[in-house]
Structure 1
Amino acid sequence: MAMISDRVGPNLDPAAALFHSLGDPRRLAIMQRMTLGEVRVGDLAGDLGLAQSTVSGHVACLRDCGLVQGRTQGRSVYYSLARPELMNLLAAADALLAATGSAVTLCPSYGIAARQHRQDHATTR
């Protein structure tokens, strides 16, 4: 049985993995903050109001995906976007969201209400 990506053209699995890695609001917030320049995990945690362990896990995910890189200086590691193309991708996402208005936010499968429903369901287990 052929996969969908085999029928529609080139393998779309890498693109799907990229968008999945960007699919968490906390990872997007981390990357958005990195558009301003290098930052340490502790500073990200303070800026975003998240636990340092949470930020570390998300930064590790982004680093493993090749989206973020670290530079060691003394005992600190400063993280930044690994590719300048990410700035264009984030800007394009902002433009697309502005153009679609609330359609994405209200999407019954992936919008805010759907995410809240999944979170509520996960906490009642």
Structure 2
Amino acid sequence: MSLDKAISDAMSTIPECVAGGYVDMTSGMLLGVKTLNSHPQEILDMVAATTADLFEGQNIRHIEQAFAKARGIENDHPRYFQEVMVFSENLLHIFMRAKKRPDHVLVFVCRRNANVGMVLTKSRMALDAVVAAL
């Protein structure tokens, strides 16, 4: 199955989902994307850059290092944050780090009126299938 098809299939199971994307933070690229509405390429490019900032920005790296040190973990690249939820005025954004590929993040965007618990549950259920499609 193609990555775009896997994203589309996942979106169909997630309540009020209007967009999905798959980001490689190492390259800074959006590897796959599906949206119900068209968006300029500049906006889609910003999704990849913003995702990298959320998970690997300088302050985030400092927090991860502090948690690793406090727990006695000696790892140069600890990955403490696995999921991030962002509520905007009209939308809910879910960012989930892929377990098997910690430098990849799956993103779903839903209307804000969606049931948050169901969005998170369905997004988690879709993660492995989307990652496997790469």
Normalised by the shorter chain, which TM-score bucket?
under 0.3
Structure in which a larger fraction of residues adopt helix: 1
Whichever structure has more strand as a proportion of its residues is: 2
TM normalised by structure 2 equals 0.26
TM-score scaled by length of structure 1? 0.27
Structure with larger RCO (C-alpha < 8 A, sep 6+): 2
